[in-house]
Amino acid sequence: MKKVLLIQGHPDSESFNFALFDAYKKGLTASGAEIKEIIIADLKFDPILRYGYRKRMELEPDLLESVEKIKWADHLVFFYPVWWGSFPALLKGFLDRVFLPGIVFAKRDNSLWWDKLLVGKTAHIISTLDQPAWYYWLVNGRPTYYAMKRMTLEFCGIKPVRTTTIGPLRLSSDEYRKKWLKKIEKSGFNQK
C-alpha cells in the first residue's frame, strides 16, 4: 500500500484545483492508499527565505510537520495553477522554506555536487491553465515543469515525476471540468 502526500498549492479553497484535489483523494481512498495532505494556504509560516542560504531560519511548527509528511510519503502529488508562467507565490514560499539543504538534499564538502535525500519517492504534478495545454507546451515550453519537475523534485531525487496539464479552464464548460475530475479520480485510484 502506497503512502501518498497531497500538496495543495492554490490559495483559494473554492478553486477548481481544490475540486481536482478532492477527486484525486477520492480515488486514493477507494484504492486503500494511506493519505496525508498539506493545504499550504492553511499553514502558518513566513514564506520568505529571509537570509537565502547564508543563515538558517527556524522552521515553524506547520513546516516541521510538513517535513515529516514529505519524509513519510512514497508518492507526492502537487496541485497548483500556472500563473504568469509559474506557480503561486505561496507554493514558491513553501518550497523555499521546506526544500532545504539537510532536509531534501545535502551539499558535499568542497564540491559542486550534492546528495539527493528523496531518492525512492515518486511524484505527480497536476496543474491548471487558462490557455490550451498544447500551446503551453509547444509555444511556451512548459516553464513550471522545468522549475518544479527538474529543478526541484528531480534535484532532490524524486523520480519519476509525472505531469498532467489541464487547460484551458477559462471559459471551459461544466462537461469539460467533469471529464477532468473523473480522469483525476481514476489517476488517484491508480496511485499515479
Banded pLDDT at 143 (limits 50, 70, 90): confident
Locate all alpha helices (DSSP H) within 79-132, ordered by sequence.
89-98
Q: Is the pLDDT of residue 1 over 80?
A: no
Q: What local confidence, expressed as pLDDT, does residue 53 receive? A: 86
141 pLDDT band, cuts 50/70/90, is confident
Nearest to 190 by CA among 32, 9, 8: 32
Percentage of the chain beyond pLDDT 90 is: 85
* Residues constituting the chain: 192
- Whether the CB-CB separation of 86 and 92 falls below 8 Å is answered with yes
Cα distances from 139 to residues 56, 59, 76, 85, 135, in angstroms, run 39, 39, 28, 12, 5
pLDDT at 132: 85
* Mean pLDDT, residues 128-150: 87
Q: Average the pLDDT over 46-60 and give the result.
A: 93
Q: What percent of the chain has pLDDT over 70?
A: 99
The answer to whether the beta carbons of residues 161 and 125 sit under 8 Å apart is: yes
Please state the pTM of the whole predicted model.
Answer: 0.95
80 sits in which H/E element: strand 75-81
- Phi, psi (deg, nearest 5) at residue 179: -60, -45
19-23, 51-55, 105-109, 130-134, range with greatest mean pLDDT? 19-23
What is the rounded CA–CA span in Å between residue 166 and residue 183?
11
Rounded to an integer, the average pLDDT of 158-186 is: 95
- pLDDT score recorded for residue 64: 98
Q: Which of 24-38, 41-55, 123-137 has the lowest mean pLDDT?
A: 123-137
The mean pLDDT of 60-80, rounded to a whole number, is 98
Place of cell 514558491: 92
